[in-house]
Amino acid sequence: MTTHPSLASAIETDLALQHSPLLRATLHTLRYIEANGPIALTPSKALKRYFVEWAAGAFEWPHFTADDLYAVNKVLNEHDFPPLVVLHDLLIATKLARHYKGHLALTNKGRTFAKEPDRLWHLLTAQILWHTDHGRYMRRPDQFDGDWRVILNIINFEAHDGATDDKIYAAILGVSEEQAKRDYILTAILYCYVLRPLAWAGLLAEVRTGTGFGMEHIYVKTPLWSWS
């Protein structure tokens, strides 16, 4: 059966809103600015605390909820909320917003894309996967030079029914899981450049089990994987 284009778009939008914390947070931010005006910035051009605190509650970002964040921070600044740091950079890079007179202001492009979540999701996903230097968010500015086509094929197979991050790293690196666990630098690069962006975009779902050093991170493809 052939799906009508408008129906396909509606289905995709629903899936993106359901599975992509990045899309939901971006829409919250764009609509916040539309309703309340530009967001004030600190002298270092970080978003001011009043918005960070609002975003922590409104975004309900998996593993970075307000409860999660306040469990380790008495007050919240932008750098205490890693997804917001990346989101801020994405808004500027995609020209959905801009810095203007000490504020983060909405652009005409941002107003347009706020009304078209499906197009917005594609824009954000392309930006966070293919055009973002994630090394700037790491303790050391390592670069990623892997073959995305090969890596996505591996993840497509490994994460079909769910796989731990160590199993995925091992498959990508062509080593045992024990060897992958010992290669902290390469696995950190793969996490920051591959698994985390795929999860934040909504192509993978991350499930955490256990606590402390015994915690496992399991990744499984979402229905969005077939739409990308």
Task: Please enumerate in sequence order all residues whose Cβ is within 8 A of that of 43, keeping only pairs 6 or more positions apart, or say none.
Answer: none
Cα four-point dihedral sign 60, 218, 223, 149 = positive
Residue 2 pLDDT: 38
Residue 12 pLDDT: 74
Residue 16 pLDDT: 87
Residue 13 pLDDT: 82
Residue 4 pLDDT: 43
Query: May I ask the CATH class of domain 148-227?
Result: mainly alpha
Burial 54-77 (b: 16+ CB within 10 A, else e): bbbebbebeebebeebeeeeeebe
pLDDT at 9 over 80: no
Strand partners, 216: 209
Residues 48 and 98: their CA atoms lie apart, in Å, by: 15
Instruction: Write phi, then psi, for 143 (nearest 5 degrees).
Output: -110, 155
Residue 11 pLDDT: 53
What pTM value is reported for the model?
0.92
